[in-house]
Amino acid sequence: MNTTYNVRVYKTETRKNKDGKVTSYRVLWQTDGKPWKKPFPKEAQADTYRSALVTAARNGEAFSLITGEPVSWNRAERSDMSWYDFACKFADMKWKGASAKYRQDIARALTAATPAMLGNKQGKPDDLDLRTAMRRWAFNTKQRSDAPDDVAGTLRWLAANTKPVATLADAGPVRDLLDVATSLLDGKRAATSTVLRNKTILQNALDYAVELKLLTENPIKGLKWKPPRTTYEVDRRSVVNHAQARALLDALGKQTRSGPRLVAFFAVMYYAGLRPEEVVNLRVHNVVLPDLVLNEETGEWEEPADDWGELHFAFAAPFAGREWTDGGTLREERALKHRPNGHTRTVPCPPPLTRILRAHLAARYGRGPDGRLFWGEQGGELPSITYRRAWQKARKTAFTDQEYASPLARRVYDLRHACVSTWLNAGVPATQVAEWAGHSVEVLLRIYAKCIVGQDETAKRRISEALGE
C-alpha cells in the first residue's frame, strides 16, 4: 500500500540566517517514520499548513507515502495511479494504431523499465516469471485477460507493489527508470538500437502521463542524459561480391529438402534488393517476366535477348507472432516501409534473377497457397527459422573458415545491402537507387556511404586535371 495512518506532526521550526534574522518557517512531520519538511516565508502560512495536517491526522485520514500529505488533498484522484496500472493503460492506448512489431517493442520497453518502479519486495515472484508475465501478458492488450492462474497471481502482485507514477516527478526516480530500461540484466548497457528505442517509448509514455494529469511535465525531457553514439552506415565487410553471392546460391541449391526452394528467395534479395519481409509476401502476380522466344533453328523456347523483368508489390509481412497480430497470424501484412497504404514499388529484375525466378515458378514448389512465391513445406507461411538455418548452412559450405567467422553476409539482410551497393557502384543515380530500394536519397547515402568504392580515385583525377597536372 502507498498510504498510512501512522502520522506525527511536530512544532514549526524557525529558520534563521547567519545574521540572526528569520528567513523562513518550516513545518516538520512524519508518515510511517519517514520525515517530511515544508518551508514557508511567513509564520501564519506555516501555522495554517501545520493545523491542516494535525486536523487530517486527528480525523483519521490516510496520508500518502509518496507526497507525505493527506490523500484527500491530491488535486486529482489519479495521482496515486500505480506504474503497473499506468503501463497497462499506455499499452492499451497504443495498441489499436500500432503495428504488431511496435506492440512488441512497447511491451519489451515497459518490461525492462518496471523493475525500477517496484516498491515493496515482500512476496516478490521469481524475476524470470515477472518478466515473462509482463512481456507476454500484462502489456499485451489482447492476452492480458486470458492470463493463466499462475500468471494472473504474478500480475496481481505487480499491481499491488509498483510505485505511483507521481514518484517520477523527481529526477532521481526518473534517471533510475531510464537506466534500468536501457540496461541488460547484468547491468551493462544494452545495444544502441535498444537504448534509443526504449528511451523513445518511455518518453512517449510519460507524455501520456502528462496528458492524464499524473505528471505536470515530462521529466525525461529535462534530464541531462547522453545518448550512445550511433552509426547507420553499412559495414563494408558484410557485403558480398558477385562471385561470393553465386557461391552461396549454389550451396543453397545443393541442400536437401528446403535448399532448392529457397534459392529464388535469397536471389530476390541479392538481385532486386528486397527486404526479407517483402520477399516472403511476394505473390505470382507480383512478378512480370519477359515472354520466351521461339528459336526457329532448334524449335525450343528460350530466354529473350533483353530478358529483364520487373517486380511490382505494395505490401510486406514482418514477422511478429500470433499473440501480437490482430488476426492471429505469424506475420502482419502492412504497407511498405516508409510508404503510405496503397503505394507500390517497382524494382527491375536482372537477367540472372529472371532465369532463377522462371525455374522457381516451373518447379512444383513455385506456386504456393494464395499464389505465394515462397511458402513452408507444410503449406503455410515460410518460417523465418527455416531460411535462417539454411542461410547459415550455406555460409558454412561456401565460405572459408575465416570468411565464415567474419561479418561477411552474416545476416540474411546483408544480401539487400550487397544489391544496393552494387547499384551505387555501377553508377546508377542515387535518386533511382533510392526509389528501387524504398529509401529517401538522404538515408540511402548515409547508410551506404562506406560501400561506394572508386569515387576517391575519380575525385583525385579530377583535382589533378583542374591543377593542370
**CATH number for the domain harbouring residue 330:** 1.10.443.10
**In the predicted structure, residue 406 carries a pLDDT above the cut 70:** yes
Range of the domain at 161: 80-222
Predicted local distance difference test score (pLDDT) of residue 458 = 57
- Inside any domain, residue 463: no
Residues 315 and 408 grouped into a single domain: yes
Residues 255 and 402 grouped into a single domain: yes
- Inside any domain, residue 165: yes
pTM value is 0.72
Residues 91 and 212 grouped into a single domain: yes
Q: Between these two residues, 302 and 385, which has the higher pLDDT value?
A: 385
Domain limit, last residue, from 199, 222, 245: 222
The average pLDDT across 279-296 equals: 86
Residues 195 and 275 grouped into a single domain: no
- Inside any domain, residue 115: yes
Residues 103 and 187 grouped into a single domain: yes
**In the predicted structure, residue 405 carries a pLDDT above the cut 60:** yes
Of the pLDDT bands very low, low, confident and very high (cuts 50, 70, 90), residue 127 is very high
Q: C-alpha cell of 129? A: 516469471
Predicted local distance difference test score (pLDDT) of residue 169 = 87
Distances (CA, A) of 253 to 262, 263, 281, 356: 8, 6, 21, 11
- Inside any domain, residue 457: no
The average pLDDT across 94-108 equals: 94
Element (H, E) at 302: strand 300-302
Residues 334 and 351 grouped into a single domain: yes
Q: C-alpha cell of 388? A: 535462417
Most confident of 36-45, 195-204, 211-220: 195-204
- Inside any domain, residue 109: yes
Predicted local distance difference test score (pLDDT) of residue 292 = 74
- For 248, residues 6+ apart whose C-beta sits below 8 A from its C-beta are 240, 266, 394, 395, 398, 409
CA distance 214 to 110: 17
Is residue 183 a contact partner of residue 189, using CB atoms and an 8 Å limit? yes
Q: What share of the chain has pLDDT > 70, as a percent?
A: 92
Number of domains, the chain? 3
**In the predicted structure, residue 355 carries a pLDDT above the cut 80:** yes
Is residue 271 a contact partner of residue 352, using CB atoms and an 8 Å limit? yes
Query: Reduced to 3 states, what is the DSSP secondary structure of residue 332?
Result: coil
Is residue 362 a contact partner of residue 354, using CB atoms and an 8 Å limit? no
Residues 279 and 330 grouped into a single domain: yes
Residues 155 and 113 grouped into a single domain: yes
Residues 308 and 431 grouped into a single domain: yes
Give alpha helix (H) positions in 59-191: 83-95, 100-113, 127-133, 149-161, 171-181
Predicted local distance difference test score (pLDDT) of residue 70 = 87
Query: Reduced to 3 states, what is the DSSP secondary structure of residue 113?
Result: helix
Per-residue pLDDT reduced to its tens digit, 28-77: 999 988 888 887 778 888 888 899 999 999 988 888 877 788 887 764 44
**In the predicted structure, residue 360 carries a pLDDT above the cut 90:** yes
Buried/exposed code over 266-301 (b: 16+ C-beta within 10 A; e: otherwise):
bbbbbbbbbbbbbbbbbeeebbebbeeeeeeeeeee
Q: What share of the chain has pLDDT > 90, as a percent?
A: 48
For the ranges 33-42, 54-63, 184-193, 388-397, the lowest mean pLDDT is seen at 33-42
Residues 255 and 218 grouped into a single domain: no
For the ranges 234-243, 262-271, 323-332, 443-452, the lowest mean pLDDT is seen at 443-452
Q: Between these two residues, 286 and 439, which has the higher pLDDT value?
A: 286
Closest CA to 424 of 406, 409, 439: 439
CA distance 263 to 305: 23
Residues 365 and 428 grouped into a single domain: yes
Average predicted confidence (pLDDT) for the chain: 87
Q: C-alpha cell of 203? A: 518518453
Beta bridge partner(s), residue 345: 313
DSSP 438: T
Residues 240 and 217 grouped into a single domain: no
Q: Burial, 152: exposed, middle or buried (Cβ in 10 Å; 0-12, 13-18, 19+)?
A: middle
